Amino acid sequence: MATPAARIEDLTFSEADFRPLADGASKNPEYNDARLATKRKLADMAKDAVARLKASGLELEQRTSLHNPHQFNGKRVGRLWAYLVRPKKEKARLKKTLGADLAKDLDQAYKNAYLCLAIEPDALEVSLRIHVDAWYDGQNMKRRYDGGGEAELLATLNALPGFRLRLDNWKGEWICGQLTRESLAEFFKFYTPGEHSLAVDFRWPAPEGNREFALAAGVPGEMIRALQGLEGLYRWAAWSKESEFLFG
């Protein structure tokens, strides 16, 4: 029998969630059980977020990252996260649109635009991410912007104070709530789907010795509410029936 999800209001983060991700522990399989407990916490948060988004008409599926050192993660777990990605039926529709060659391995979560709840050794994060290999979602977003969607996207991003629009691993960042037409145009001048990743994230610093906020009651619920705030951006950017701009 599956273990029931914890009530979100009962969830809190603890030092035991952060320490197994630090450099000295991230490669050590002895911390696998501790990381699994944290991953399950993120999974409970993601399940709650899926239910909330479904109630507003957006259907997504929940996945989680690996909690054990493995060849896939470079044998190091310095970050744990839960994904919210397009469901199977939408992946199947996208595959038909792209064709078999372009839609290889679409079932892998990072090959789709996704919403994310994450923990690192010194931070908590909520984000929308478009990986390099999710180029079709990036292309959909860029074509919609280029096709006259500048004002809509600008308003959507500026309704997310505290979030940052970021381009791949560049040092520059575009602060949501402070964006202008000119600054957004600068971003899209450089952003190339298939070559660059894209993220819109909100990070809560949680360095060792100064984690009072991250450990406070109610933080998981606050992260879920922040994730809900990304619904409009996800609907605008990711390819779907309501946002179908991939091929013009």
Share of the chain above pLDDT 90, in %: 80
Domains of the chain by start residue, with CATH: 8-129+161-176+197-227 (3.30.930.20)
Task: Give the chain's mean pLDDT.
Answer: 92
- Stretch 48-53: mean pLDDT: 97
The pLDDT value given to residue 21: 98
The pLDDT value given to residue 1: 43
Tens-place pLDDT, residues 193-220:
999 999 999 999 999 999 999 999 999 9
The pLDDT value given to residue 104: 66
Does the pLDDT at position 246 exceed 90? no
Q: Which residues contact 155 (CB under 8 A, 6 or more apart)?
A: none
Share of the chain above pLDDT 70, in %: 94
- Stretch 183-192: mean pLDDT: 97
Specify whether the CB–CB gap between 246 and 239 falls below 8 A: yes
Cα 178 from Cα 108, distance rounded (Å): 34
Does the pLDDT at position 34 exceed 90? yes
- Which string of DSSP letters, residue by residue, matches 131-170? -TT-HHHHHHHHHHIIIIIHHHHHHHHHT-TT-EEEETT-
The pLDDT value given to residue 110: 76
Tens-place pLDDT, residues 132-144:
999 999 999 999 9
- Stretch 153-174: mean pLDDT: 95
- Stretch 232-243: mean pLDDT: 96
Does the pLDDT at position 184 exceed 70? yes
DSSP bridge pairs for 63: 83
- Stretch 228-246: mean pLDDT: 95
The pLDDT value given to residue 46: 97
Tens-place pLDDT, residues 156-166:
999 999 999 99
Q: Which residues contact 39 (CB under 8 A, 6 or more apart)?
A: 64, 65, 67, 80, 82
HSE at residue 72, side-chain half, CA atoms within 13 A, is 5
Tens-place pLDDT, residues 70-122:
988 889 999 999 999 999 888 888 878 777 666 566 667 778 999 999 999 99
Entry pTM:
0.93
The pLDDT value given to residue 173: 84
